[in-house]
Amino acid sequence: MACVTPSRRALLLGAGALAAAQAVSGPVLAAARNAPVDTPLRWLDGEKPGRLEGATFGVPWPRGAVRPSQAFRIRSGDGRETPTQSWPIAYWPDGSLKWSAHAVTPDAAVEGLSIVPGAPKAPARPVRVVENGTEIVVASGDLEWRIPKSGPVLVSQASRAGRVTVQNLSLVALSQDKAELAPTGVVQSARYAVQIRKVTVEQTGPVRAVLKLDGVHSDGSREWLPVSVRLYFYAGAESVRIVHSFIFDGDPARDFIRGLGVVVQAPMTDESYNRHVRFSGEGPGVWGEAVRTLTGLRTRANPTPAVRSAQIEGQAVALADLPEILRNDGLQWIPEWGDFTLSQLSPDGFTLRKRTSEGHAWIDSNVGARSRGLVYAGGATGGVALGLKDFWQRAPTGLEVRNAHTDTAQITAWLWSPEAPPMDMRPYRSANGMDTTAEEMVGLNITYEDYEDGWDDAHGVARTSELTLWALGATPSHAAFSAMAEQVADPARLTVEPARLHAAGVFGDWGLPDASTPIRQGLEGRLTYLLDHYMKEAEQRRWYGFWSYGDVMHTYDPDRHMWRYDVGGYAWDNSELSTDLWLWTSYLRTGRADLFKFAEAMTRHTGEVDVYHLGRFKGFGTRHGVQHWSDSSKQPRVSNVAYRRIYYFLTADERVGDLMWELTSSEQALLNVDISRKLPPAPGRAVPEGQVVSGFGTSWGAFIAAWLTEWERTGDPRWRDRILNGMNTIAGMKRRWFAGEAPFDLATGRYQGQGDYVGVSHLSAVFGVVEMTSELLDLLDVPAYRAAWLEYCRYYNAPPAEISALLGTVPPGRSLVEGHSRLSAYAAHQENDHALALRAWSEFLGRDAQSLRALLNARTTTVGGVDVLRPIEEDPQVSTNDAAQWSLAAIQNLALVGDSLEEAAVRIGFTT
């Protein structure tokens, strides 16, 4: 699988691939050579896209089935091949291929594709990357992009057949030192351009080339807002995909971002009546006008219907075809409109205005609800289109064209529109005189907020945006432009069927939906209901916005008929109790396109906004709160790689790969943040230098997710060994997992001490450690740790007499019984214990058939009138903690002990 990637990540991948290949035994290689690997592919939305700009996706392979050097080709149902580029992104411990990534060209937009072994077809006009001293040139066919290695622009120009179509792709940030105008005082503003410091070629083709550009924003005297941009080029595409990530590193009290944008210039060489501007509107709708319109004129000056129609469609109009009055200097009386703005300041409405030029009044043109986020400016000889994904969902956003009547138009996609109030990153509350831990803990018991003055800091949070930039040879028709806008808003994706994912044996314990009996039908119905409920709530409650899109709320307030958006730790969820894993595991088993997109938005949010990427909290995330960074509990349970890795392997997304790599050393943040600082001292908490107290579940459970993923991605044994050090030392303790935490040596990853105390927390197993441990025990043979984990699984929910016999006490804190039923199920499955399987189902289903039926049949009710702002559908019984853990337990119990379900249902009286 050819892939040229001279970056640090690539060097690790190359070394890992070599080590992995050397580790493959003869029998495994023999099996791999003969293994059938034909895999049908499907479009996520169920049908081929109307337009494709290239696509990248991941495919899993069963252990031992495929050699790490296997080549792949992709063909359609009629045997035609599409150009393909493939590379490995994960390996099994035996060195065989676990996940491969594949890139395809725009001509892959057909039905019936499958991936098969064999040499891939090369593009007729491949992507080529040429590097010289000052710039990198990426070319495909007659389209050539020039990327300087440093300086104030990302792309200096793009040309088609020698004609410059795109110029000076850059970034802009506007800021001011106050949040709002005041009766006294002056608001100071500043404008920052990008300064690129480093460009890395990550892939060189032939189907796909990737460049990563790193820099900062600068106004000449100050540098801030670190930014990383990836440019993706596909053979045969007229566009470049842009993934823009920045980190907020300002002072929330004085750095208010007024605008954040991506800017590009388009040379305008056509006559003004052959220059056009396009904006995407609602659904397939398009707004399109010329810089100098030829329609609506008085009869004598009005061109023929053919000429008017040609202008509307963006086709070239000849001067000779215009009425004589226009040819004879009459055109000067038709205004040239140079500036156009579409502002999406809320998810429910946009406005469109235009003016002739700066210094003149804006004229209202149109309004609408939700734009798909694409703008075009150009003419018959070429132009530029720029689109922003999740445009209305991320409001306030904007699209603008400036100076289209001059030689050079400027097109901007505003990630944060300067027409909106400035971005306010200040804390939402003050200390209110609290200055002791005791006072803060009182607040925790009232509003569920872990408040600590100065810890509600946004410094270090990040956000990633996705854009597409086209260098076009002519103005697109309305239909073509609408298809482009659809690709911006909802990019076409290739993937494999859930059954194929399951057959590969990836991501732990889950199975395909089965509603073949009444109790199974009830459980599957509840699983579907909860997923649908949250997706509907995102729309109903408008869980949108630049910083919030992708997250959900934590707990409902039935008195106000609202989620508790303003009550401490009950507000934004921030991955609490593994919401991300619930959504992704549900997608794996259903393949639902709407669920993929919902989970994708959550991954983009929780991996960026809820996590610190620089500063004193780097590597940790923030517990649930009113603002995504407001709670003072900073923990690795939120920054957990377990919540990102499924999306990464399904898509091979490099940005998420960066985020996961960042967390391979996140345990070092324990030196800066004492997670248990507000709790009474626990046994073993006094530790020497170089060690920290680390919980087994919420901390180490997150660390092993990062180390496992890096071991899979690179084959580097140091990550495996670090995991083994923790497994072996936990297993060697007297109370093993029931010790809960112990001193942790940061250099080696080993736990220290005897662990001769009991420390049980209901949170230990609900932040991904169940899923990660299931995968680890399938990959690593550590009998002592296996026994320790199975002991914890068997006894966590055990009757008091049983756990007392094991530990000499009945430890407090054993709540979340339903969620922990999957631990009982895991032990039952591993030890083939039918009685324990029935106990697991009893823990999950409860002992009352009537209550179970009520749960499975629950539905929303309508609330309207004066009790609410607008009519809503509500289910006050749903909370995100319960929804996530109930669903994960249902999925895993069905996969592990599903053969005992019917018997368990009969025992509690649940019958047809």
Residue 795: DSSP 8-state: H
Nearest to 607 by CA among 633, 579, 638, 581: 638
The pTM of this model reads 0.95
Instruction: Decide if pLDDT at 506 tops 80.
Output: yes
With a CB cutoff of 8 Å and minimum separation 6, the contacts of 859 are 529, 875
Instruction: Decide if pLDDT at 7 tops 70.
Output: no
CA dist 694 and 702 (Å) reads 11
Name the strand (E) or helix (H) holding 32: helix 26-34
**What is the 3-state composition of the chain as percent helix, strand, coil, each rounded to the nearest 5?**
30, 25, 40
- Under DSSP, is residue 825 helix (H, G, I), strand (E, B) or coil? helix
Instruction: Decide if pLDDT at 84 tops 60.
Output: yes
Nearest to 300 by CA among 324, 333, 316: 324
pLDDT of residue 185: 75
Nearest to 120 by CA among 138, 137, 108: 108
- Under DSSP, is residue 319 helix (H, G, I), strand (E, B) or coil? helix
Buried b (16+ CB within 10 A) or exposed e, 519-535: bbebbbebbebbbebbb
Distances in whole angstroms, Cα of residue 733 to Cα of each of 254, 501, 728, 736, 742: 51, 37, 9, 5, 10
Contact 474, 314 (CB under 8 A): yes
Instruction: Decide if pLDDT at 386 tops 80.
Output: yes
Instruction: Decide if pLDDT at 51 tops 50.
Output: yes
Segments in 541-630 forming alpha helices (H):
579-590, 593-606
Contact 28, 95 (CB under 8 A): yes
Instruction: Decide if pLDDT at 184 tops 80.
Output: no
CA dist 588 and 578 (Å) reads 15
Grade residue 33 by pLDDT with cuts at 50, 70 and 90: very low
CA dist 860 and 530 (Å) reads 11
Instruction: Decide if pLDDT at 707 tops 60.
Output: yes
Instruction: Decide if pLDDT at 29 tops 90.
Output: no
pLDDT of residue 497: 97
- Under DSSP, is residue 303 helix (H, G, I), strand (E, B) or coil? coil
The C-alpha R_g of the chain, in whole angstroms, comes to 29
Number of other CB atoms surrounding residue 27 within 10 Å: 10
pLDDT of residue 680: 75
pLDDT of residue 434: 67
What is the Cβ-side half-sphere exposure of residue 279, based on CA atoms within 13 angstroms? 29
Q: Which two tokens stand for residue 579?
A: 């919401």
- Under DSSP, is residue 126 helix (H, G, I), strand (E, B) or coil? coil
Note the pLDDT tens digit of each residue in 660-676. Answer: 999 999 999 999 999 88
Distances in whole angstroms, Cα of residue 95 to Cα of each of 32, 588, 657, 750, 770: 11, 24, 21, 26, 25
Instruction: Decide if pLDDT at 25 tops 90.
Output: no
pLDDT of residue 30: 43
Least confident of 380-394, 422-436, 624-638, 895-909: 422-436
Least confident of 181-195, 324-338, 713-727, 764-778: 181-195
- Give me the mean pLDDT over the 705-716 stretch: 98
Instruction: Decide if pLDDT at 11 tops 80.
Output: no
Contact 509, 588 (CB under 8 A): no
Grade residue 440 by pLDDT with cuts at 50, 70 and 90: confident
Q: What is the CA angle 190-196-200, rounded to 5?
A: 155
Give the position of tokens 């940790």: 620
- Give me the mean pLDDT over the 52-78 stretch: 95
Instruction: Decide if pLDDT at 435 tops 80.
Output: no
Q: What percentage of the chain exceeds 70 in pLDDT?
A: 95
Contact 838, 907 (CB under 8 A): yes
pLDDT of residue 18: 37
Note the pLDDT tens digit of each residue in 800-844. Answer: 999 999 999 999 989 999 999 999 999 999 999 999 999 999 999
Instruction: Give me the residues paired with residue 577 across strands.
Output: none
pLDDT of residue 487: 97
Contacts for 448-452: CB closer than 8 Å, 24+ residues apart:
448/567, 448/568, 448/569, 448/570, 449/567, 449/568, 449/569, 449/625, 449/626, 449/630, 449/631, 450/569, 450/623, 450/631, 450/632, 450/633, 450/678, 451/568, 451/631, 451/632, 452/632
Residue 204: DSSP 8-state: E
pLDDT of residue 432: 72
Instruction: Decide if pLDDT at 9 tops 50.
Output: no
What is the Cβ-side half-sphere exposure of residue 701, based on CA atoms within 13 angstroms? 27
- Give me the mean pLDDT over the 883-901 stretch: 98
Name the strand (E) or helix (H) holding 248: none
Nearest to 711 by CA among 766, 774, 776: 776
The residue type of 222 is: R
Grade residue 443 by pLDDT with cuts at 50, 70 and 90: confident
Q: Are strands 239-247 and 223-234 parallel, antiparallel or unpaired?
A: antiparallel
- Give me the mean pLDDT over the 426-446 stretch: 81
- Give me the mean pLDDT over the 716-733 stretch: 98
Grade residue 180 by pLDDT with cuts at 50, 70 and 90: confident
Contact 251, 427 (CB under 8 A): no
Note the pLDDT tens digit of each residue in 541-587. Answer: 999 999 999 999 999 999 999 999 999 999 999 999 999 999 999 99
Grade residue 433 by pLDDT with cuts at 50, 70 and 90: low
pLDDT of residue 12: 36
Contacts for 43-46: CB closer than 8 Å, 24+ residues apart:
43/111, 43/492, 43/493, 43/494, 43/495, 44/492, 44/493, 44/494, 44/495, 44/593, 44/596, 45/490, 45/492, 45/493, 45/593, 46/593
pLDDT of residue 15: 37
Instruction: Decide if pLDDT at 735 tops 90.
Output: yes
Q: Which two tokens stand for residue 721?
A: 């060994």
pLDDT of residue 1: 54
Note the pLDDT tens digit of each residue in 309-323. Answer: 999 999 999 999 999
Give the position of tokens 């200390």: 431
Q: Are strands 223-234 and 208-218 parallel, antiparallel or unpaired?
A: antiparallel
What is the Cβ-side half-sphere exposure of residue 667, based on CA atoms within 13 angstroms? 30
User: What is the chain's mean pLDDT, rounded?
Assistant: 94
Nearest to 196 by CA among 174, 175, 218: 218
Note the pLDDT tens digit of each residue in 198-250. Answer: 999 999 999 999 999 999 999 999 999 999 999 999 999 999 999 999 999 99
The region, left, alpha or beta by phi > 0 then psi within -120 to 50, assigned to residue 168 is left
- Give me the mean pLDDT over the 137-142 stretch: 95
Grade residue 685 by pLDDT with cuts at 50, 70 and 90: low
Q: What percentage of the chain exceeds 90 in pLDDT?
A: 91
- Sheet arrangement for strand 81-82: 39-40, 114-117, 72-75, 81-82
pLDDT of residue 21: 38
Number of other CB atoms surrounding residue 331 within 10 Å: 18
Note the pLDDT tens digit of each residue in 865-882. Answer: 999 999 999 999 999 999
CA dist 477 and 347 (Å) reads 27
- Under DSSP, is residue 327 helix (H, G, I), strand (E, B) or coil? helix
Phi, psi of 604 (to 5 degrees): -60, -35
Distances in whole angstroms, Cα of residue 508 to Cα of each of 224, 408, 504, 646, 808: 42, 55, 11, 11, 33
